[in-house]
Structure 1
């Protein structure tokens, strides 16, 4: 029995050695095939520095980089001549590929109007509401404009309503070290009629607050205006 056990053990060791030798040979052949087939690359343009939106591209902002061909994004530009002189529609981070969809031919011009669709305008909305003042509103947030307005004379002339909904904050303007007295304001891109509504609210001395919306709530909500009568009837306030 002992001799038989040794025979089986020896046979197992020999088989293990043969398997290891075979696998090593396969690995070597695979490595040789991989070395024989070099990775295909393609040279494209990337931003050599952070490029803000609405910037006219200059050669100093561009660099050529080799990318694996399979990873080159659609619309990537390879020639500096094709990109130089065009205007960026959005911020391009340093090292990011330059894509045709990020640029617009504007005859070397820059400015906010290059990023606006027809029928849209960029507006500034000064505000001192608590959320903005507290730093809770940032570019990219979507907000609703709540306003309390005086609707006439009488015992209960004030009404509060959600006036405009789902506005995307493009930029938060505020005091800086160089301009400590600069007023706080939000910028929005809206249609012409909404621009007039926002201006009227500013000029009418309405009491205005913002409500930050959930990113998961893209649709407008139906609300009722609130006055003292609504509060009394809804919450049973004694008068």
Structure 2
């Protein structure tokens, strides 16, 4: 084959390759431009739990529809002015299950209860409620003092009454103090005074709710405030007058 024919064949093959590559690039571009997207609210930065969400924390972003969560919020007004029920990471799609309107108190309290726990309210005063200084989010131990009948060592007396103090709960979370559930307040709105609250609502393990309710009806409950970093759990037996005399 002459050099001229070889050159013409090479040019023809190059032309066919260029045409094929052009068709491929066009098909890729069409597939990209034809992707269906949906505009959803995305966090600009990490939003901690129980944070009032403002406009500068959120942006609307177009995301391929196949990657959009079914609970993703597509309306900015549903997010701004709401409170984060749980932590939202930077770049994360904001889900309607993670935000709550600030005026939806009942719903907000329900979503603040940890899984496996129940919210139960107990009466307090300045003595039993740490001087009225408790705030939602604090951690407390719950002590129960009750009068019980025990067998008497005196053969002439069948039973005697004894006051015992038990540790009912350790490291329980305070969900609410009175009606204050710890939600961020709008500008100019004042927090209610916890000192005047007559109840505290605690997150209690489901299996402990009956014990707390029974002790509240039969005796007195006292709350002891923990340091924020103290998560210790101790084996603490009940105390009675005989223990105090030792």
2:33 aligned residue: none
> d(CA) in 1 for partners of 2:50 and 2:244?
47
Are residues 1:164 and 2:203 paired? no
**Which residue among 171, 180, 204 is the counterpart of 1:190?**
204
1:114 aligned residue: 111
> d(CA) in 2 for partners of 1:170 and 1:115?
7
Query: Quick one: structure 1 residues 203 and 100, their matched pair in 2 at CA, closer, same or farther if it must change by over 3 Å?
Result: farther
> d(CA) in 2 for partners of 1:226 and 1:64?
51
In 2, are the aligned partners of 1:121 and 1:189 still within 8 Å (CA)?
Answer: yes
Query: Quick one: structure 1 residues 53 and 146, their matched pair in 2 at CA, closer, same or farther if it must change by over 3 Å?
Result: same
In 1, are the aligned partners of 2:42 and 2:93 still within 8 Å (CA)?
Answer: no
Are residues 1:81 and 2:94 paired? no
Could you list the per-position Cα deviations for residues 52-94 of structure 1 after superposition, in whole angstroms to 9, with x for gaps in the alignment?
9699x9xxx746878xxxxxxxxxxxx97255547754389xx
User: What is the 5 A alignment of 1:132-151?
Assistant: 132=129, 134-151=131-148
1:10 aligned residue: none
**TM-score in terms of structure 1 length:** 0.51
CA RMSD of aligned residues (A): 4.7
TM superposition shift of 1:167:
0.5
TM superposition shift of 1:166:
0.8
Query: Quick one: structure 1 residues 63 and 224, their matched pair in 2 at CA, closer, same or farther if it must change by over 3 Å?
Result: closer
1:90 aligned residue: 85
1:128 aligned residue: 125
Give SS of 1:158's match.
strand
2:214 aligned residue: 200
Determine which structure has greater relative contact order: mean sequence separation of CA pairs < 8 Å that are 6+ residues apart, divided by chain length.
Answer: 2
**TM-score in terms of structure 2 length:** 0.50
2:11 aligned residue: none
| Structure 2 unaligned regions, length at least 5 | 1-40, 60-71, 151-158, 181-189
TM superposition shift of 1:118:
4.1
**Count of residues in Structure 1 that have an aligned counterpart in Structure 2:** 168
2:14 aligned residue: none
